[in-house]
Structure 1
Amino acid sequence: MQLLRDILDKQVVDREQIKIGKVDGLVAELREGKPPRVIAVELGAIALTRRLGASPGRWTARLAARLRGKRQARPHRIAWSKVRDIGVDIEFDIDVRRTKILAWQNWLRTHIVGRIPGA
């Protein structure tokens, strides 16, 4: 399996097939004398902008901290051990309703989109 080709930018779903987002980054553990090991995937705008470089990643993290608080200034991580299936989508053995992954979308829906006439 080639991680960058087979994992990055794939749709992520929870065990109920609820779409969470796309894989925006991979977190690997470097081990001396052994190949790196993937320990988590990252989702969200912060991880996505980090792919453009350090400066866009820092800018997005500062903006997220200002709008949503310091706890939200990091990308969402899902442990690699929670992978259930890798196919067209990547299915994780989590319940998205018990996480804060969709908190930003919910905030936007309530505070921005919901105020648009006809939304």
Structure 2
Amino acid sequence: MDIIRDVLDNQLVDSNQRKLGKVDGIVMELRDGEPPRLIYIETGMITLARRIHPRLGRWVAAIENSWGAKHSEPFRIPLSKVRDVGIDVEVEIEAEATPALAYEKWLREQIIERIPGAEHGNS
């Protein structure tokens, strides 16, 4: 499998097919005298920004922290939780039980629900 081509930027879905975002990063372990080993996949704005430039990643992290984002660190999913890699990357976790949707929840609570006339039901 070509990790970059087959995994990076693919849609992440939980065990109930709920979207968790995209695979924004890949974390590998470097070992002496052995090939690198994939240990985590990451999702989150900071990881995506770091791919463009490390300084941009630090800037995004600072903004998220200043705006009060509860989970401004990338969410790491252990390789052992990856169940299938195809068009989507299916992981054996529950989306609602993770901080992966923290930005979405924060955006809904802090911005969307404060717009006059916005619906205040579950979406």
Q: TM-score, normalised by structure 2?
A: 0.89
Separation of aligned partners in 1, 2:94 and 2:63: 27
Deviation for aligned residue 1:110: 1.4
Matches within 5 A, 1:1-119: 1-68=1-68, 72-119=71-118
1:117 to partner: Cα distance: 3.1
The 2-side partners of 1:44 and 1:100 are apart by 10
Q: Which deviates the most, 98-107 or 2-11? A: 98-107
CA distance in 2, matches of 1:3, 1:114: 39
CA RMSD in angstroms, aligned pairs only: 1.4
Aligned-pair identity (%): 49
**2:29·2:38 contact (CA, 8 Å) conserved in 1?**
yes
Please list every run of 5 or more consecutive structure 1 residues that lacks an aligned counterpart in the other structure: none
In 1, the alpha carbon distance for the partners of 2:72 and 2:112 equals 22
Q: Which has the higher strand share?
A: 2
The code of the aligned residue for 1:74 comes to: E
Return 5+ residue gaps in structure 2 as ranges.
119-123
